[in-house]
Chain A
Amino acid sequence: MKNFWKKLYDWVNERVQLDDLVKFMGKKYVPVHRHSIWYYFGGVSLFFFVIQVVTGILLLFYYKGSSDLAFESVQFIMAKVQFGWLVRSIHAWSANLFILSVFVHMFSVYFEKAYRKPREITWVTGMLMFFMCLGFGFSGYLLPWNTLSFFATKVGTDITGAVPVIGEPLKIFIRGGEDVNGATLSRLFGFHVALFPGIFTILLAVHLILIQRQGISEPMHFKEKNPSEKKTMPFFPNFILRDLLLWLLVLNLLAVLAVFFPADLGHKADPFSSAPAGIKPEWYFLFMFQSLKYFPSHIFFAEGETVGILLFGAAGILWLLVPFWDMKSSRGERNRFINYLGLFAVMFIIILTFLGWRS
């Protein structure tokens, strides 16, 4: 068995000089310290993404993306296709866990200030992927074409329309027209299975290549130590195997969730019915949705909601560009302000998500 693998390796090596790559990879190491555990979340996020792609492709075999067929096709998958319920439920749960995982990954990178020079682009591609994840969540949510998803999309695109100047055309672009209808479904379907995965893959490739090239970021206090004191572990095979172990446990979790909490089907969307009482978006949008409710209806000359949206937009842009304005971290100095800002953001998100869920 071992011979076979060696033979295969040699065959490829003769053609592309794999040896160089292997030597390079073999040198890769992961710093071991108090906060090492957060390093795993990047890999876990990647794992979830792969699960989404695989289950997504499988769903594509049976899902039909037009408004008369969508709901029935999902019902078909849940009831008639063997293990269809499993594929769909894993896809739904993995989506949620994926977004949770990228939240954790993003915040852990933020607090470790791993975005500082030379890893600015890694951060930017990561943040862009983060926003794309939310886009994946939003577009995918509509696809079963049930009551909840229809009205969630309606409310979500309505809020988009409240952005000044570009909001209205953006809303029409997303909706494929004035209202949420079959055109919206086709469009979001295209985003979800083609456009977003394409862009995301490019961003992911850049992100991963940069990590491979630059190595795993060390915590700031590491530079004060001498090389012999720095504890590390080789990326191959140790970290990889540990990562794999974690992935197996996550897979277990997904299976249990899929069986005991299968994805809900609900009722087919009826555009003429009224929105269900207490309609709210998925949990990852909840904090924004809830905080918008607290804005007064008018602030000076502007509508309260518009101010709220613009504030979130500004916050997002600031967050995206943090490597460029956090001078202290780039210099290797401790930046308490960043920590406090991050803590505030985390608390804000948690508290408002909780409030939104309870309302």
Chain B
Amino acid sequence: MSKILIIILFIVQSGLLFSADKNQLVKDQCYICHESVGSTEADLYKKDIHFKMGISCSACHGGDDMSDDMDKAMSKAAGYKGVPKGNEITQACVKCHASSEMMKKFGAKIPTNQFELLKASVHGRLALDGTQRIVQCITCHNAHGIVEVTNPASPVYPTNIPGTCGKCHSNPAYMRSYNPSLPVDQLSKYRTSVHGMRNAKGDPKPAQCESCHGSHGILPVKDPRSSVYPTNVPATCSHCHSNAEYMKSYNIPTDQFAKYSKSVHGIALLQKHDVSAPACNSCHGNHAATPPGIESISKVCGSCHALNAELFSSSPHKKAFDNLKLPECQTCHSNHLIITATDKLLGVSPDAVCSRCHLQNKSPKGYYVAKEMRHMIDSLESSEKNAMNLIQTAEQKGMEIAEAKFKLKDAKQARLEAKTMVHSFDEAKFNEVVDKGLKVTSAVKIEGADAIHEFYFRRIGLGISVAMISFLALVLYLYIRRIERKRK
């Protein structure tokens, strides 16, 4: 029996002699033996990049890789560790992969901070059993058939990543044991998105889990340092979507982030850190990221701008826009470069949006309504300005005008409401709101004018009183003089 073994071994050894891996033949007795007995791990290891680099099994498992005596090679004395368990696994990888000298020795141009990142990440927390981290290196990278990330066979090659992550993250029972409120439908949603569909077809360029969430240092969404925390989302998306070179083959614009940064939403989120402002995912979705369809734009915007959306949907514009395949809110307000909607948007002047469709001769009714509405809101604005001027003049003159100033807030409110009511495109409703504001401004104007009038009244009154008093004083003086002259 052993004779046959020896012959087989000899043949194998000679075979190996003529194989390219001369180093392996000389050094790694572990591999030679295990491969010869047909171990799956050894089989897998054949394709492993570590194998190609000449790294022995003992690098992770310990033991003496020069000895062909199993007992000697796999003895504790020789440093044999067996199959590493729990955190030992990652430790085995980290031994080399965290050392830049080691990496240089093998000519590997990969980073060495993976473990540090993992420790700080959400995956670096303790697993259910409390003895090891949730994730070890091999969870995503495999144990024995590890290939480069750029190799399509790698489980962390872009087209494979969704499946790799989905192994745990699409498993409701598994995820429930860690965070019951965390959704598990990301993968299925992802497959409905453009990113997911192209990824499924084998395109490594579109975003997959790692593109947005990171690889080793994945933090929870609620952590402000996370790449998918609301204030960081636009930068994360623009990583690809603003890169013209990268996006060349896809024929979509790459100016969204630039535009968004200048918009009201962008300024609110990125400069004022108002996390209630929409980021890319608020309108496009996260995993099922797709631009909203033409008919659903007002619903998407309406998740915050509820009143405007409701008014629009019940207005004559809804049907008209849908028929003309015009994107609802976007047509007038733009999608990424949404700036503060001023009164200039309304009306029939060249820079107003209404006149794009409603020309005087082509759609006179719309033209008339647009013109009227602009006129009304302009009159409200100028009335409010007048009232404010009067108030400020009265204030500067030192008159007490705090109450009227407060009332003016209602006028501002009315203008806000009017701007919203524009979306009903109904002249009567619009005028109702504007009239409310005009009532306030005229009342305030009266109060302001009264205060200024009072200012002058006081001075005139003073003049009269001083005149009377001085007159009396003068007469009294003369009287005194007369009395004293008489007495003399």
> Does A310 belong to the interface (CB within 8 Å)?
no
Question: Which of A249, A251, A262 is B398 in contact with, Cβ under 8 Å?
Answer: A262
Contacts of A245 in B (CB 8 A): 473, 476-477, 480
Docked CA distance A149–B101 (Å): 74
CB atoms of A259 and B473 under 8 A apart: no
Shortest CB-to-CB span from A217 to chain B, Å, is: 22
* Cα of A237 to Cα of B459 in the assembled complex, Å: 35
Asked if B470 is at the interface (CB within 8 A of a chain A CB), the reply is yes
Contact assessment for B462 and A255 in the assembled complex, using a CB-CB cutoff below 8 Å: yes
CB–CB B473/A249 < 8 A: yes
Complex contact B476–A237 (CB within 8 A): no
- Please tell me if the beta carbons of B480 and A255 are within 8 angstroms of each other in the complex: no
Q: How far is the CA of A127 from the CA of B360 in the complex (A)?
A: 88
**Contact digits for A217-242, partner B, Cβ 8 Å, 1 yes 0 no:** 00000000000000001100110011
Given contacts A237-B483, A241-B483, A255-B465, contact A78 B473 (CB under 8 A): no
The verdict on B466 contacting chain A, using a C-beta distance below 8 Å, is yes
> Is A75 engaged at the interface, CB distance under 8 Å to the other chain?
yes
Give the size category of A's interface with B. 20 to 34
Point out the residue from B403, B465, B472, B483 that lies within 8 Å of A79, measured CB to CB: B403
Select one of B401, B469, B473 contacting A255, CB under 8 A.
B469
List the A residue with the shortest CB-CB distance to B460.
A259
Q: Would you call A248 and B402 a contact (CB within 8 A)?
A: no
> Does A256 belong to the interface (CB within 8 Å)?
yes
By a CB distance below 8 angstroms, the chain B residues around A86 are 458
A339 within 8 A of B: no
Contact indicator A242/B480 (Cβ below 8 Å) = yes
- As a 0/1 sequence over residues 245 to 268 of chain A, the CB contacts with chain B under 8 angstroms (1 = contact) are 100110110011001001001000
Neighbouring B residues of A262 by C-beta, 8 Å: 398
The verdict on B10 contacting chain A, using a C-beta distance below 8 Å, is no
A252 in contact with B483 (CB, 8 Å): no
Residues of A contacting B402 in the complex (Cβ-Cβ under 8 angstroms): 75, 79
- Chain A nearest CB from B446 CB (Å) reads 15
Cα A265 to Cα B398 with chains together (Å): 10
Known: A238-B480, A238-B483. A259 touches B458 (CB 8 A): yes
Given A79-B400, A262-B398, A252 contacting B466 (CB threshold 8 A): yes
In the complex, whether B246 has a CB less than 8 A from a CB of chain A is no
State A237–B487 Cα separation when bound (angstroms).
Answer: 11
List the B side residues contacting A251 at CB < 8 Å: 469
Are B479 and A248 in contact, CB atoms less than 8 angstroms apart?
no
Q: B484 an interface residue at 8 Å Cβ cutoff?
A: yes
A237 to B483, CA, bound (A): 9
B476: chain A residues within 8 A (beta carbon) = 241, 244-245, 248
Q: Which of B400, B459, B469, B487 contacts A259 (CB 8 A)?
A: B459
Question: Are the C-beta atoms of B469 and A248 separated by less than 8 Å?
Answer: yes
Measured in the bound complex, the distance between the Cα atoms of B459 and A259 in whole Å is 7
Bound-complex Cα distance A75 to B479 (A): 43
Contact with A along B352-373 (1 / 0, CB 8 A): 0000000000000000000000
Contact call A265/B400, Cβ cutoff below 8 A: yes
What is the minimal beta-carbon distance from B412 to any residue of chain A, in angstroms?
Answer: 22
- Compute how far the CA of A265 lies from the CA of B484 in the bound complex, rounded to whole angstroms: 47
Q: Which of A241, A249, A256 contacts B479 (CB 8 A)?
A: A241
Residues of B within 8 Å of A252, CB to CB, are 466, 469-470, 473
Main secondary structure, interface of B, reads helix
Q: Which residue of B lies closest to A248 (CB)?
A: B473
- CB closest residue in chain A, given B471: A248
| Cα(A259)–Cα(B398), bound, Å | 10
* Cβ–Cβ < 8 Å partners of A248 in chain B: 469-470, 472-473, 476
Most buried by B among A79, A86, A249: A79
Task: Specify which chain A residues have a CB less than 8 angstroms from the CB of B401 in the assembled complex.
Answer: 79
- Bound: A22/B234 CA distance, A: 98
A255 to B477, CA, bound (A): 20
B466 and A255 form a contact (CB under 8 A): yes
- Residues of A contacting B487 in the complex (Cβ-Cβ under 8 angstroms): 234, 238
Across the interface, which residues of A come within 8 angstroms of B400, CB to CB? 75, 78-79, 85, 265
What 0/1 pattern do residues 286 to 310 of B give for CB contact below 8 A with A?
0000000000000000000000000
**Residue of A at shortest CB range from B462?**
A259
**Residue in B closest to A262 when the chains form the complex, CB atoms:** B398
- B468 vs chain A, min Cβ distance (A): 10
Query: Bound state CA distance, A193 and B401, in angstroms?
Result: 29
User: How long is the Cα–Cα vector from A262 to B400 in the complex, in angstroms?
Assistant: 11
Report the Cα distance A86→B470, complex, angstroms.
Answer: 19
Contacts of B462 in A (CB 8 A): 255-256, 259
A132-144 near B? 1/0 per residue, CB < 8 Å: 0000000000000
With a cutoff of 8 Å between Cβ atoms, the chain B residues found around residue A265 in the complex are: 400
Contact pick for B484, options A79, A238, A249, CB 8 Å: A238
- Chain B residues with Cβ below 8 Å from A256 are 462, 466
Min C-beta distance of A38 to chain B, whole Å: 19
C-alpha gap A79/B406 in the complex (Å): 14
In the assembled complex, how far is the CB of residue A238 from the closest CB belonging to chain B, in whole angstroms?
A: 6
A241–B458 touching, CB < 8 Å: no
Q: Which residues of A contact B398 (CB under 8 A)?
A: 262
Residue in B closest to A77 when the chains form the complex, CB atoms: B400
**Which of B401, B402, B484 counts the most chain A CB atoms within 10 A?**
B484
From residue A151, how far is it (CB to closest CB) to chain B in Å?
22
* Bound: A232/B472 CA distance, A: 26
CB within 8 Å of B: which A72-127 residues: 75, 78-79, 85-86
Shortest Cβ distance from residue B456 to the other chain A in the assembled complex, whole angstroms? 11
Q: Closest B-chain residue to A82, C-beta based?
A: B454
A349 to B398, CA, bound (A): 33
Residue of B nearest to A246 (CB): B473
Q: CA separation between A259 and B466, bound complex, in Å?
A: 11
A75 to B401, CA, bound (A): 10
| Residues of B435-483 whose CB lies within 8 A of A | 458-459, 461-462, 465-466, 469-470, 472-473, 476-477, 479-480, 483
- Give me 10 A-to-B residue pairs in the complex whose CB atoms sit less than 8 angstroms apart, sorted by A's number: A79-B400, A234-B487, A238-B487, A241-B480, A248-B470, A248-B476, A249-B473, A255-B465, A255-B466, A259-B459
Residues of A within 8 A of B (CB): 75, 78-79, 85-86, 233-234, 237-238, 241-242, 244-245, 248-249, 251-252, 255-256, 259, 262, 265
Other 19 A-B pairs with CB < 8 A, given A245-B477, A256-B466:
A79-B400, A79-B401, A86-B458, A234-B487, A237-B483, A238-B487, A241-B476, A241-B479, A241-B480, A241-B483, A242-B480, A245-B476, A245-B480, A248-B476, A252-B473, A255-B466, A255-B469, A259-B459, A259-B461
What are the nearest 6 A-B pairs in CB distance?
Answer: A79-B400, A248-B473, A259-B462, A241-B480, A78-B400, A252-B469
